[in-house]
Amino acid sequence: MNRTTIAATLALAATLAVPAAAGAHVTLQPPEAPAGGFVRLDVRVPSERDDAPTRKIVVQLPAGFAAARYEPVPGWNIAVAMRKLATPVTSEGETQTEEVDTITFAAGRGADGIEPGQFQDFGISVRMPERAAGTKLTFKALQTYAGGEIVRWIGGPDADEPAPQVTLTAAADETAAAHGNGAQPTAVAATNEGDQEDDGDGDGLAVTALIVGGLGLLAGLAALLTARRARAA
């Protein structure tokens, strides 16, 4: 094998390796959620090291999350930490003085953690902030391996260690309004109008049939009288 062939083979191998590495990043699933909606997000944590399991993952939530609930994971300790708001916010008659800061998922004593070649989903239930559709929310994360190595998923989308992001879509009520329940009454009205037109046509046909039937009966009686008079003569 000559040098040119070897170089081309190595380049191809490097190109094919990039998607595999990119797919192993810490992410949030699904990557989109409706603004203001109550949703379940999964913090998906793959172990990228061949010689050490993941023992802890800390996720920092962006501003706007008043509360967060988590799904228990056997063998893992989960804690939600809050931070004070610089300015209290009033929502639905209640004053909010703090919001969610971080959620920490740590393997308990004796637990194996996330072994090489494995991944773990950590489910959380949150209400998304009410912001414009298309807004990207960044969730910085720190992944700690056995032995103390920390991978910082805090970079931009094109970084080697990008932070997980979730893109806001249109709020559920806005989506419903866009598709328009208002169109349904119009359709029903049109249907009812059509039914009324059909009923009108049906009544007209019935009247016509009665008239024709009545004329036929009169014609029959006239013919019978004419025949009787002819016999009498």
Whether residue 124 contacts residue 40, with contact meaning beta carbons closer than 8 Å, is answered with yes
**Tokens matching residue 89:** 């916010």
Domain-terminating residue out of 178, 206, 223 = 178
Query: Residue 21: phi, psi to the nearest 5?
Result: -70, -40
pLDDT band at 3 (very low <50, low <70, confident <90, very high): low
Residues 221 and 151 in one domain: no
Domain enclosing residue 109, as ranges: 3-178
The CATH code of the domain that includes 170 is 2.60.40.2230
- pTM comes to 0.67
**Tokens matching residue 142:** 């720190």
Query: Residue 182: phi, psi to the nearest 5?
Result: -65, -20
Residues 174 and 194 in one domain: no
DSSP structural state of residue 93: T
Whether residue 130 contacts residue 36, with contact meaning beta carbons closer than 8 Å, is answered with yes
Residues 172 and 191 in one domain: no
Chain segment 15-42, per-residue pLDDT in tens: 444 344 445 799 999 999 999 999 999 9
Chain segment 178-194, per-residue pLDDT in tens: 555 544 444 444 444 44
Residues 93 and 160 in one domain: yes
Residues 201 and 161 in one domain: no
Domain-terminating residue out of 178, 194, 225 = 178
Whether residue 81 contacts residue 146, with contact meaning beta carbons closer than 8 Å, is answered with no
Domain-terminating residue out of 178, 196, 212 = 178
Residues 122 and 213 in one domain: no
Residues 231 and 135 in one domain: no
User: For residue 169, which amino acid is it?
Assistant: T
Separation between Cα atoms, residue 11 and residue 39, nearest integer Å: 42
Residues 106 and 174 in one domain: yes
Residues 51 and 164 in one domain: yes
Whether residue 141 contacts residue 26, with contact meaning beta carbons closer than 8 Å, is answered with yes
Residues 144 and 190 in one domain: no
Residues 145 and 215 in one domain: no
Chain segment 74-94, per-residue pLDDT in tens: 999 999 999 999 999 887 788
Residues 202 and 171 in one domain: no
Q: In Å, how far from its chain's centre is CA 22?
A: 23
